[in-house]
Each structure stands twice: as C-alpha cells, then as structure tokens.
Structure 1
Amino acid sequence: MAVTDEAILKIKDMIVSGKLHPGDRLPPEKELSEELGLSRSSLREAVKALEVIRVLDVRRGDGTYVTSLEPALLLEAMSFVVDLHGDTSILEIFAVRRILEPAATALAADQIDDDTIAELAALIAEVDGSTSVEGLVEHDLEFHRRIVASAGNSYLSSLIDSLSSHTVRARIWRGITQENAVERTLHEHAAIVAALAQGDAKLASALTVVHISGIEHWLREAL
C-alpha cells in the first residue's frame, strides 16, 4: 500500500472510530504525524486528497477541520467523476436514475405533504410554450429534486441529485431537437403529482419510470 493511501486510511479510521467528529479541528501536523507514525509529507498528501473529496476543510492560517460530512457535500466528488465521461456514458447514468428515482418517488408518495404538492403544481403552472429550453431544464431539475427530497432519505436524495444534474446536456439537446417537449414534460409531471397527491406509490413510481425512460429511449436513438 502506498504511504499516502495508508495515511488516508488512518485519518479515515480516526473519523469512523469517533476520535474525530464533523467540525473537529485536526491536531497540528507535527503532532498528528507522530501519532499516526507517518512522515509529514505523506500526511500533507493525504490531507490534500481528503480535501478534494470534501472530507477535510483546510483553512489557511487556521487549521484543518473535518467537514460536516453531509451526503450532498461528499457526493460532489461523484459529480466531478461523472462530468469526465462522454455522451455514451449518459445512457448508463439514465439507467441508474431509472432504478433509483422511481423508488424514491414511491417513498415520497407515503410522506409528501400538501404544501409540497401545492409547490409542485405551482412549478408546473410557471412553465408554458414560451419557456426557453434552459428554463424547462431548470424546472425539470427542481421538480424532481423536490419530490426526491420528500422521500426523507438524504443519501438517496444527494445521490440522485448528483446524477440528475449531469444529464442537463441531454435534456437540452432533446428540447432543441424534439417538438412538443414542453407540453410532454408538463403532462408527465402533472400525472406524477396527481399520483403523489393520491398517495399512490405504485402509480407514482410507474409514471416516473415512463418519464425517465422516454428521455433515455430518445437519447439511445440519438446516439
């Protein structure tokens, strides 16, 4: 095992064991390197790596802290990885969404409140035939984000959000090249909201599968 990898694992163990908690300041570099039996150079490399994936927060002139370790923060690294892949990989992203998002929507159907239902309906009402493709994409992202957030699982919500935000290119492409994209999207969204309002988890899940699969099918044909 590389020395830097060993250093990363040792810092991770300190967090997992509870020796370090979210928001805690790490001991000074000299003290920590001696405690972990590591060179200061390997410790610095480990800290840099953990800073990139948002486990640590290096504050110049103040010290190094454990971040909040919130799912949304930690999954930013995944978003970066997804960005590095080409158009064909988007198909695999949609396949993952097609598995996860309907399940999240089903969970949301059992927990969503009237206020959120009203907010979703208002989002739909804000969009019409004059809405730009970019505006439609923003609506679509916010619509799905609010539903998934209602599932009550922050890890699931953050994971789906990291996947959804990186399908923007495909959505824009679809909106530019296909007719009636706005009307079709609003119709599908309205059907999902109606199922959620009825508390029908199976129907809401099925409609979400159809909604995501439609984009996935179009993209597969386009590529």
Structure 2
Amino acid sequence: MAVTDAAIDRIKEMILTGELAPGSRLPKEADLAERLGLSRNSLREAVRALALINVLDVRQGDGTYVTSLEPRLLLDAMAFVVDFHQDDTALQFFQIRRILEPEATAMAATRMTDAEITGLREILAGLPEDPSVEQLVVNDLEFHRRIAAGSGNPVLCSLIESLSGPTTRARIWRGLSRENAMGRTREQHTAICDAIAARQPDVARAWATVHVAGVEEWLRNALA
C-alpha cells in the first residue's frame, strides 16, 4: 500500500472510531504525523486527497477540520466525477435513474407536505407555454430535485441529484431531436404531480418509471 494511502486510511479510522468527530479540528500537523508514524509530506498528501472529497476542510491560517460528513456534501464528489462521463455511458446513468427516481417519487407521495406539493405545482406553472430547450431543462431539473427532496431521505436525494448532471445533455438532445418532447415532458410531469397530490404512491411510481424510461429508450435509439 502506498504511504499516502496508508495515511488516508489512518485518518479515516480516526473518524470512523469517533476519535475525530464531524466539525472537530485535527491536531497540529507535526503532532499528528508523529502520532501516526508518518512523514509530514505523506500527511499533507492525505489531507489534500480527503479535502478533495469533502471529508476534510482545510482553512488557511486556522487549521484542518472534519466536515459535517453530510451525504449531500460527500456525494458532491461523485457528481464531479460522473460529469466526466462519455456519451456512450449516459445510458447507464439513465438506468440508475430508472431504479432510484420511481421509488423516490413513491416516497414523496406519502411524505411531501401540502405546501411542498403546492411548490411543485408552481414549478410546473412557471414553465412558459412555448419554452426554450434551456428553460425546459432548468424546469425539469428543479421539478425532479423537489421530488427527490420530498422523499424525506437525504441520501437518496443526494444520489439522484448527483446523477442529474450527466443526464442534462441527453435532455437537451431529446428536446432538440424528438418531436413533441416538450409536450410529452409537460404531460408526464403533470401526471406525476397529480399522483403525488392524490397520495397515490403506486401511481406516482408508475408515472415516474414511464417518464424516465421514455428518455432512456430515446437515448438508446439515438446511440444505436
């Protein structure tokens, strides 16, 4: 195992055992390096690596802290990585969405408050009658983000949000290439919202599946 990897594992162990709690400050570099039996250079490399994935927060002139370790923060790193997907892997991201989003939508049908559902309808109403592709994409992203948040599961919400970046380009392709894509999207969003408002999780799940699977099928054909 590389020395830097060993240093990362030791800091990780300190966090997992509770020795370093979320929000706590790491000991001074010299003290921590001596305690872990590492060179200061190896420790610095480990700290940089853990800061990149939002496990540590390096504050100039103040010290290094463990972050809150909230799922949203940690999964930001995954969102950064998946942004580098190639076009032929976009289909794989849609397949993951087809697994996650229908379940999140079903959960939202039982957990979203009336005020949150009203907000969801306002998102739909805010889309212009003849929107540009860019307006449609922004509206679509916010609609799905609200539903994911409405599932009440922060981890699930963060996973879905992290997959939104790679699919944005495909949404634009669909808007540009598929006849009546905007009309279909508007109708399906309305059906999903109506099912959530009616507190019908099975119906909401079914419409979400139809919605994501439709884009997935178009993308499969386009790539073929």
Q: TM-score range by the shorter chain?
A: over 0.9
8 Å CA contact 2:85–2:166 kept in 1: the answer is: no
Q: Using the TM superposition, give the Cα deviation of residue 175 of structure 1 relative to its aligned residue in structure 2, in angstroms.
A: 0.6
Q: Using the TM superposition, give the Cα deviation of residue 66 of structure 1 relative to its aligned residue in structure 2, in angstroms.
A: 0.8
Aligned AA (2:77): A
Distance 2:185 2:4 in 1: 48
Specify the alignment match of 1:104 in structure 2: 104
Q: Using the TM superposition, give the Cα deviation of residue 121 of structure 1 relative to its aligned residue in structure 2, in angstroms.
A: 1.1
Q: Using the TM superposition, give the Cα deviation of residue 128 of structure 1 relative to its aligned residue in structure 2, in angstroms.
A: 3.0
Aligned AA (1:190): T
SS in 1 for 2:58: strand
SS in 2 for 1:65: strand
- Map 1:194-209 to 2 at 5 A: 194-209=194-209
Deviates more, 1:176-185 or 1:195-204: 176-185
SS in 1 for 2:64: strand
Distance 1:170 1:43 in 2: 41
Give deviations 1:121-157, integer Å, cap 9, x for gaps: 1111111332111110011011011111011110110
Specify the alignment match of 1:153 in structure 2: 153
SS in 1 for 2:69: coil
- Map 1:26-175 to 2 at 5 A: 26-175=26-175
Distance 2:16 2:120 in 1: 39
- Map 1:178-193 to 2 at 5 A: 178-193=178-193
8 Å CA contact 2:75–2:158 kept in 1: the answer is: yes
Q: Matched residues, percent identical?
A: 59
Q: Using the TM superposition, give the Cα deviation of residue 21 of structure 1 relative to its aligned residue in structure 2, in angstroms.
A: 1.3
**TM-score between both structures, scaled by the size of structure 1:** 0.97
Aligned AA (2:24): D
Q: How many residues align?
A: 223
Distance 2:109 2:5 in 1: 43
8 Å CA contact 1:75–1:158 kept in 2: the answer is: yes
Q: Using the TM superposition, give the Cα deviation of residue 165 of structure 1 relative to its aligned residue in structure 2, in angstroms.
A: 2.5
8 Å CA contact 1:128–1:182 kept in 2: the answer is: no
SS in 2 for 1:75: helix
RMSD of the alignment, in Å?
1.0
Distance 2:99 2:193 in 1: 19
**TM-score between both structures, scaled by the size of structure 2:** 0.97
Q: Using the TM superposition, give the Cα deviation of residue 37 of structure 1 relative to its aligned residue in structure 2, in angstroms.
A: 1.4
Give deviations 1:157-194, integer Å, cap 9, x for gaps: 00110002321111011111122222111100010011
5+ residue gaps, structure 1, are none
